[in-house]
Amino acid sequence: MITNMNKSRSDVDTQYTWDLSDLFSSEQAFLETIDHLKLDIAKLSLFQGKLNNQNDIIACLDALATVTQTATSLFAFAQLKVSEDSSNQESLMRQGSLSALAASFASSSAFIDVELSELAPEILQEVSKHAPHLKGYLDEVLLQKPHQLSLDAEKAISMLSTPLNAFYGIYNRAKLADLQFKPFEVNGTSYPLSFNAFEGQYEFNGDHDIRRGAFDSFSNQLKAYQHTMAAVYGAHVQKEKAMATLRGYDNVFDYLLFNQKVSKAVYDTHIDTIYELLKAPMRQYASLIKKDYNLDKLTYADLKLPLDPTFEPSITVSESRAILKEGLALLGEDYLEMVDRSFDERWIDFENNLGKSTGAFCSSPYGFHPYVLINWTERMREALVLAHELGHAGHFYLAGKNQSIFDTRASLYFIEAPSTINELFVAKTLSKKDSSTRFQRWIKATLIARTYYHNFVTHMLEAVYQREVYRLVDAQKPLSAHVLNLLMLKTIKDFWGDDITIPDEAAYTWMRQPHYYMGLYPYTYSAGLSIATHASQLIEQDPTLVEAWKSMLKAGGTLPPHELVKLIGIDLSTDKTLLSTIDFISKTIQEIEDLS
């Protein structure tokens, strides 16, 4: 039912799209909210020069919280409309109209952190005692104090926020609106091509000619944009380096890791440990693909193939709901209520259409319910994707109910744990549905291919590549498409080894993901997956720990990651969590081979 990826948005069945009216019931309501927000932003200036006493500090930050919540709803709505169809000019104009508002907000509120950072720490600590809901914000001011600039400098940066943050939008505009893929031909038959079609269908196609033909055509058409994409990405990372220098950081890594509350040593350990220790098990997994498909050689275009090519269970949207509720039942009635609401109230956008954002994501504007985008093709593995995104939804749904807007978002280091543990819970439920050897092999292989290969290996390779890019930036070395291509090709070849044929076209893989515009995000998948894998094992041994897990979700950003995970008994000062996850992956791959 939802397999045509070349529909226009106007042709999709609305029952499988999200309902954004909960954010804004009409365009008029959206525009009126903008007018109200402009007035509220202007009122913030009344506090300038007065943040030297408890009452004014509390009043100012409460006003800032209200403005932030309103602004978040506006930006979320605009971004979601573009995500559903990036070719829609009205949506693009709506999003563009908010750029000046964002700059005005940032500039008008810049004085707040500057004035607060000039106060004695004891004053801010005393305010926190009287207004606990502001503690997280004030603690952050104290942490940022060594890197705080003058008011004039902060206002200048704020006024330039639109062009400084434009690179992600330019990348998406090129990728989803301008880049029009031509159909490719295989054995006399023409096949339509798009980002969603390639990543959602052709990468998994069991016909070797079609799959490899799609890869060649897709890569060659990416190649035509390599220099533009490299220029955009290069400008983005140079901006980050400039900001790191301005704020007095020794390097761009310290700047980007600061808000994650993670040291560079932890960051490097994650990347180095996984990159080295996962090579052998993942090459073993690749050899299983080669055997299953009786291939003379295994190429980069074959690595996403599902094991047992003639066995791909299908699942409808309604069937996925039942599976999700059963798999996530251990999280309690309040969590299942959230799952039911996500279906009943249309929080989820399932239907595929031209111009729709690739992959899947969850957006959680504070004060409203979350929204989930997915590209549904009725493969059962997509039940795991949906479980993943509802994990993000459940995290921010619970955090939003229990924390202020300033304390809702946990460190990026933890952000992928709530989503991944949901995948593990649902995979376990699916494994109980069919005890046959074939199904058991399939669910284990799907867990490796989707949860661990994609979210652990794929994003870890992104992290390895990204680290090399930032090393060049710190060393003031020039970047170009040629340099980026060589870095990506080396990263992929070093990991997969000589047993897999890596064509030169694999170099353009860096052009496919938006993660490079999100700071040091890619490596956090490995962090989240490690925490989730270890936590799921602890919960399996002691189901009462579910409440500890939910307390972690409710905590939001009130604790740094190493303190947050202690609630369930995980110690990040050792490599136990990381090594146990790699061991789990290795054992699962061996079980797949044994079941063969």
Residue 256 domain flag: no
Write the DSSP symbol of residue 379. B
Q: Which of 2-6, 313-317, 490-494 has the lowest mean pLDDT?
A: 2-6
Across residues 572-587, what is the average pLDDT?
92
**Tokens coding 252:** 């761009």
Q: State the CB neighbour count (10 A cutoff) for residue 359.
A: 17
The DSSP 8-state label assigned to residue 188 in this structure reads T
Reported confidence tier of residue 529, pLDDT bands at 50, 70, 90: very high
Q: H or E element: which one contains 189?
A: strand 189-191
Confidence class for position 314, pLDDT limits 50, 70, 90: confident
Report the b/e string of 160-191 with b at 16+ CB within 10 A.
ebbebbbbebbbbbebbbebebeebebeeeeb
Domain span including residue 40: 21-165
Bridge partners for 501 per DSSP: 299
The DSSP string of 306-362 is PSSTT---B--HHHHHHHHHHHTGGG-HHHHHHHHHHHHTT-EE----TTPPSS-EE
Say what the pLDDT of residue 4 is: 59
Structural domain total, the chain: 1
Looking at the chain, the whole-number percentage of residues with pLDDT higher than 70 is 99
Which single residue is written with the structure tokens 């970047």? 479
Whether 334 is covered by a domain: the verdict is no
Percent of the chain past pLDDT 90, that is, above it, reads 81
Whether the per-residue pLDDT at 299 is higher than 70: the answer is yes
- Distance between CA 374 and CA 376 in Å, rounded? 6
Q: Is the pTM of this model over 0.85?
A: yes
Q: How far apart are CA 135 and CA 141, in angstroms?
A: 10
d(CA 367, CA 389): 19
For the chain, give the mean pLDDT.
Answer: 93
**Has residue 84 been placed in a domain?**
yes
Q: How does pLDDT run across 465-477, given as a tens digit for each residue?
A: 999 999 999 999 9
Residue 564 forms part of a structural domain? no
- The pLDDT assigned to 312 comes to 76
Grade residue 3 by pLDDT with cuts at 50, 70 and 90. Answer: low
Lowest mean pLDDT among 37-46, 97-106, 563-572: 97-106
For residues 18-40, average pLDDT: 96
What type of residue sits at position 591? E
Which residues, including other chains, have CB under 8 Å from residue 75's CB and lie 6 or more apart?
98, 102
Please write the tens of the pLDDT for every residue from 124-165. Answer: 999 999 999 999 999 999 999 999 999 999 999 988 888 898
Neighbours of 389 (CB within 10 A): 24
Residue 2 has pLDDT above 80, yes or no: no
Q: Assess if residue 88 is contained within a domain.
A: yes
Q: Is the pLDDT of residue 256 over 60?
A: yes
Q: Which pLDDT score, from 0 to 100, does residue 1 have? A: 46
Question: What's the DSSP call for residue 298?
Answer: E
Instruction: Tell me the mean pLDDT in the region 391-409.
Output: 96
Q: What is the pLDDT of residue 219?
A: 94
C-alpha to C-alpha distances, 390 to 25, 345, 499, nearest whole angstrom: 24, 14, 37
Place of tokens 């080396």: 490
Which CATH number fits the domain that encloses residue 59? Answer: 1.20.140.70
Separation CA 85–CA 18 (nearest Å): 13
In a domain, 376, yes or no: no
Q: Tell me how far CA of residue 431 lies from CA of 146, 306, 437, 444, in angstroms.
A: 52, 17, 10, 8
Quick: pLDDT tens for 479-528: 999 999 999 999 999 999 998 999 999 999 999 988 999 999 999 989 99
Does residue 97 fall inside a structural domain?
yes
Structural domain contains residue 125: yes
Count of residues in the chain: 596
pLDDT digits (tens, 9 = 90+) for 356-398: 988 899 999 999 999 999 999 888 889 999 999 999 999 999 9
Query: What mean pLDDT do residues 310-316 have?
Result: 85
Q: Exposure of 468 by Cβ count < 10 A (0-12 exposed, 13-18 middle, 19+ buried)? A: middle
- Structural Rg of the chain based on CA atoms: 24
SS (H, E, C) 36-74: HHHHHHHHHHHHCCCCCCHHHHHHHHHHHHHHHHHHHHH
CA 507 – CA 594 distance, rounded (Å): 34
Asked if 558 and 407 touch (Cβ cutoff 8 Å), the reply is yes
Please enumerate, as own/partner, the contacts of 502-506 that have beta carbons within 8 Å and a separation of 24 or more.
Answer: 502/299, 502/300, 503/219, 503/299, 503/300, 503/301, 505/215, 505/216, 505/219, 505/220, 505/223, 505/300, 506/219, 506/300
pLDDT computed for residue 53 by the predictor:
94
Q: Are 345 and 20 in contact (CB under 8 A)?
A: no
The CA distances from residue 547 to 335, 544, 559, 562, in Å, are 12, 6, 17, 18
User: Looking at per-residue confidence, does 303 or 5 come out higher?
Assistant: 303
